[in-house]
């Protein structure tokens, strides 16, 4: 006896592969805004332990404490700028590999940001009042660099990180003799920044022509002068 056609099992349609939801322009804007707010007003959490570990707090007089706080405020602003730059650059990176490279470096910069913020609190000080401006300016710069193409994008990383390395050396010399906690944080940051530059070079960075490096150095000198006090 044959089964009537209407009672034959109907094959279910094959499930559609679940695609990862692509973010629309509004979602992306919200993600970027959230990152900016977290960086500027939030308390970013480090994914690695603070390099200062349980080193003792130094006995610093008022002037030494003020000087150490000024230097650590500069470094904190530098990390706010790094977040802005990297996220701006990642937003317009062409290759997925370049974007991945930038976001990975930004994750390590978040550790630096958290360590510098912690040290500022230990020194009874505070971050720069102009952090929203530093972030906004750096983000815009990152987008501009990124729009020129991935070679430029990575070249910008190399130049930024090399300049940061040099300035960390200056700070390591200038910190009060006994401030081992700040010093250990800067030492680890210097190691990380050198790696960020090396990785960007390997990933195909182009060498930025003058006057770009000179302009970047001038901008960072201005930032350092302001951030030391405010």
Interacting residues toward Fe ion by CB under 5 A? 82, 109, 112, 193, 196
The nearer residue to Fe ion, 27 or 169, going by C-beta atoms, is: 169
Q: How far is the CB of 203 from Fe ion (least distance, A)?
A: 14
Q: How far is the CB of 18 from Fe ion (least distance, A)?
A: 36
Q: How far is the CB of 177 from Fe ion (least distance, A)?
A: 24
The nearer residue to Fe ion, 60 or 80, going by C-beta atoms, is: 80
Distance CA 89, CA 144 (A): 8
Q: How far is the CB of 44 from Fe ion (least distance, A)?
A: 12
What does the block give as tokens for 96? Answer: 């997925």
Q: How far is the CB of 196 from Fe ion (least distance, A)?
A: 4
Is residue 176 within 8 A of residue 58, CB to CB? The reply is: yes
Three-state secondary structure along the chain? CCCCHHHCCCCCCCCCCCCCCCCCHHHHHHHHHHHHHHHHHCCCCCCCCCCCCCCCCCCCCHHHHHHHHHHHHHHHHHHHHHHHHHHHHHHHCCCHHHHHHHHHHHHHHHHHHHHHHHHHHHCCCCCCCCHHHHHHHHHHHHHHHHHCCHHHHHHHHHHHHHHHHHHHHHHHHHCCCCCHHHHHHHHHHHHHHHHHHHHHHHCCCCCCCCCHHHHHHHHHHHHHHHHHHC
The nearer residue to Fe ion, 27 or 198, going by C-beta atoms, is: 198
The nearer residue to Fe ion, 69 or 105, going by C-beta atoms, is: 105
Q: How far is the CB of 193 from Fe ion (least distance, A)?
A: 4
Is residue 33 within 8 A of residue 151, CB to CB? The reply is: no
The nearer residue to Fe ion, 76 or 196, going by C-beta atoms, is: 196
The nearer residue to Fe ion, 159 or 193, going by C-beta atoms, is: 193
């Amino acid at each position: 006896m044959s089964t009537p056609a209407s009672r034959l099992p109907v094959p279910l349609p094959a499930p559609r592969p679940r695609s990862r939801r692509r973010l629309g322009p509004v979602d992306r804007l919200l993600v970027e805004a959230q990152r900016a707010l977290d960086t500027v007003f939030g308390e970013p959490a480090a994914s690695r332990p603070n390099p200062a570990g349980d080193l003792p707090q130094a006995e610093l007089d008022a002037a030494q404490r003020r000087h150490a706080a000024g230097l650590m405020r500069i470094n904190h602003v530098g990390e706010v700028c790094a977040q802005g730059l990297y996220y701006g650059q990642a937003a317009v990176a062409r290759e997925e590999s370049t974007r991945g490279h930038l976001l990975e470096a930004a994750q390590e910069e978040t550790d630096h940001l958290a360590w510098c913020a912690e040290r500022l609190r230990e020194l009874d000080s505070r971050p720069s009042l102009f952090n929203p401006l530093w972030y906004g300016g750096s983000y815009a710069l990152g987008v501009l660099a990124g729009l020129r193409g991935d070679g430029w994008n990575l070249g910008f990383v190399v130049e930024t990180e090399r300049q940061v390395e040099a300035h960390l050396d200056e700070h390591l010399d200038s910190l009060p003799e006994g401030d081992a906690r700040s010093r250990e944080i800067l030492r680890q940051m210097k190691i990380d920044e050198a790696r960020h530059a090396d990785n960007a070079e390997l990933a195909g960075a182009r060498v930025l022509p003058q006057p770009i490096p000179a302009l970047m150095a001038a901008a960072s000198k201005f930032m350092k002068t302001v951030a030391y006090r405010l």
